[in-house]
Amino acid sequence: MPAQRSLLSDGRWHFQHGPIDIVIGAQARDAWGERAVADAHEAAWRRFVPLLDELVGELPLLRRPIEVDAEPQACPMAGIVARRMWHACAPFRAPFITPMAAVAGAVAQELIACYQREGIARAWVNNGGDIALHLAPGASARIGLYADIARLTAREALRGVSVDGQFEVTHAMPVRGVATSGWRGRSFSLGIADSVTVLADTAAAADAAATVIANAVDVDDAAIVRQPANELRDDSDLGAMPVTVDVPPLAPRRVTEALAAGLRRAGALQAAGRIAGAILVCQGQVRVTEGGLGGTAPGVSALVLGAEAGSVFARTGSVFA
């Protein structure tokens, strides 16, 4: 089926092609900027149409683990999005990662470039919960957490859902990407986090980091159900690696242990400048990196306590989870 698009009632656009499902919103600075927004939407659509075929053409390489001793100049990809995926994941190549860990964020990042033009105050590209932002000087976007991604339906993502808390990303902040990963999401996870939401300078970087941190939220407990990835999906890039398929209620101390492991990983990435911040959620417990989410919300812990999971979605006027 060819790529399809539809204009939503609130002015956002919905682009869909195979597994790629995107919602885009943009706001003009003023009446003169309305033309810029319309032109950007058309440019984004033209760029979107060939994207899936470009990625499929390099799928064997994208599913291949990045070599631990790989150098940046050794990227084997040809396409700009595929190369972005590889470079976003390369810092996490040990012990194992494939470029597919950044696919959603990299696609969102490719499309947001169409909106980085005069006259557009802000724009957001939401690719299944991984978001790329454009913020002109003085603009901001509200970010929030949505409880229990397992409950979320496509209809809710398009029409809007209630959120459990929110905070703002401003133009002055070094954040243009937000991504969420966890065992409840649409991709496999090695950990037990209901969600890990990451803020970073780009959507591809946030996507890769969220995957890595969510994998680190883990504990050895016989009650956790795991299964080889290739038994669940024969073309999985994770091969026979055991992925999480069910996490029953665990003793609070085990959840605390798992979150502590994930927070150590997130803290190291924050200290290295790879992420601005992260919030980790597992079975009602919440942890936030030092300084909140990149210093954006010192009180974010209290804001989301009790949430079981989180994700990120966008609509007119806000970007929320």
- Across the range 279-304, mean pLDDT stands at 68
- For 3-27, b where at least 16 C-beta lie within 10 A, e where not — what string? bebeeeeeebbbbbbeebbbbbbbb
DSSP structural state of residue 65 = P
- Across the range 169-196, mean pLDDT stands at 91
Q: What is the pLDDT of residues 113-123, one digit of tens each?
A: 999 999 999 99
Cα–Cα dist 119/200, whole Å: 25
Cα–Cα dist 199/289, whole Å: 11
Cα–Cα dist 90/259, whole Å: 24
pLDDT value of position 149: 58
| Cα-Cα end-to-end distance for the chain | 30
Predicted confidence band of residue 179 (pLDDT cuts 50, 70, 90): very high
The CA-atom distances, in angstroms, between 220 and each of 183, 230, 232, 247, 318 are 15, 22, 21, 12, 39
For the question of whether the overall pTM of this predicted structure is more than 0.85, the answer is yes
Choose between 306 and 26: higher pLDDT: 26
Collapsed DSSP state (helix, strand, coil) of residue 85: helix
Q: What is the pLDDT of residues 130-156, one digit of tens each?
A: 999 999 999 999 877 664 555 555 555
- For 209-231, b where at least 16 C-beta lie within 10 A, e where not — what string? bbbbbbbbbbbeeeebeeeebee
The domain locations on the chain are: 4-320
Least confident of 52-61, 81-90, 243-252, 296-305: 296-305
pLDDT value of position 308: 34
Q: What is the pLDDT of residues 236-289, one digit of tens each?
A: 888 888 899 999 999 999 999 999 999 999 999 999 999 999 999 999 899 999
Cα–Cα dist 101/88, whole Å: 9
Predicted confidence band of residue 161 (pLDDT cuts 50, 70, 90): low
Quick one: fold of 4-320?
T-fold (3.10.520)
Least confident of 6-15, 168-177, 196-205, 285-294: 285-294
